[in-house]
Amino acid sequence: MLSDRDFFVLPPHEGMVDYVAVFGNANPVYIEIGSGKGEFISQYPTLYPDANFLGFEVREKRIRNILKKLDPSRNPNVRLMVELVDEGIRERLPAESVEGVFIQHPDPWPKRRHHRRRLIQPVFLEALAYILKKGGFVQISTDHAEYATWIEREFAQCPLFKPVFSETIQNSPHLENHVVTWFEEEQRRQGYEPQFMFYHKV
C-alpha cells in the first residue's frame, strides 16, 4: 500500500552512505536521530528544499508511521535509515559531511542501571564530532531534567563542542521553525516543559 514511498527508506547495507547516489545532488546534509512518528522529518525539510535530511529510527513500526506522513512530491529531500545510531555512525556517514544534528527527546533511560544505554556518551560525542563539519551544530531537546543535566555535563567534558549559550540549558529552541513532535506535545500535556541545548562543533 505504501510502495510509492518505499524509496524513502534506504535499503540495509554496510559501509558509507553516498549522499549524491541517495539524494541525486550534493546539497548540505542534516540528520535527525530518533525520528519517532515523523513530525519533524516530514515537516521541517519542506522549508529547506535546498538541503537534504536523513532521519534515523530504530523501530520498524515507527518507520511505518513516518512513511504515512511522507509524500514523494513534498519530501523529495528526505530519506530514512532503519538503524540504531551509536558511535558506529562514523562508519556510515563520511567525515565532516553533516551540517547539523537534531535530537528531539532521546530516550532518557531514567533508571541508574540503564544510564549506559543513553545515547549521549563520550564515545558517541566523538563520533558526532567526526561526521559534523566544523561549525556544524547539534540541537537536543528533552523534558527530562536529570538527562538534561547529564547531557550538559557530557558536552562540557568534550572539547570538540562548545555550547552556543553560556546558560547551556534553554527553555526555547535556538533555531527557527521548531517542529513540535508527538512526544513534546504529549509531555507538555502532562506538565513537562522541554529544555533545549545547542552546541557547535569547534
> In the complex with ligand SAM, which residue's Cβ is closer, 85 or 138?
85
Residues 81/14, Cβ–Cβ less than 8 Å: no
Q: Which of 17, 22, 51, 58 binds ligand SAM (CB under 6 A)?
A: 58
Instruction: Select from 88-96, 126-134, 159-167, 180-188 the region that touches ligand SAM (CB under 6 A).
Output: 180-188
For 141, half-sphere exposure in the C-beta direction (CA atoms, 13 angstrom radius) is 23
* Closest separation in Å from C-beta 26 to ligand SAM: 25
* Closest separation in Å from C-beta 76 to ligand SAM: 22
Burial 140-167 (b: 16+ CB within 10 A, else e): bbbbbeebbebbbebbeebeebebeeee
> In the complex with ligand SAM, which residue's Cβ is closer, 12 or 159?
12
Q: Are strands 195-201 and 98-104 parallel, antiparallel or unpaired?
A: unpaired
Q: Which of 87, 99, 107, 154 binds ligand SAM (CB under 6 A)?
A: 107
Instruction: Select from 7-15, 154-162, 164-172, 175-183 the region that touches ligand SAM (CB under 6 A).
Output: 175-183
- The answer to whether residue 59 forms part of the interface with ligand SAM (CB under 6 A) is yes
- The answer to whether residue 64 forms part of the interface with ligand SAM (CB under 6 A) is no
* Closest separation in Å from C-beta 41 to ligand SAM: 9
* Closest separation in Å from C-beta 178 to ligand SAM: 11
Please choose, from the candidates 153, 159, 156, 95, the residue with its C-alpha nearest in 3D space to the C-alpha of residue 128: 95
Q: Which of 9, 31, 33, 78 binds ligand SAM (CB under 6 A)?
A: 33
> In the complex with ligand SAM, which residue's Cβ is closer, 34 or 76?
34
86 catalytic? Reply is no
Q: Which residues are catalytic?
A: 107
- Residues in contact with ligand SAM by CB under 6 A are 33-34, 36, 56-59, 62, 84-86, 104-105, 107, 119, 181-184
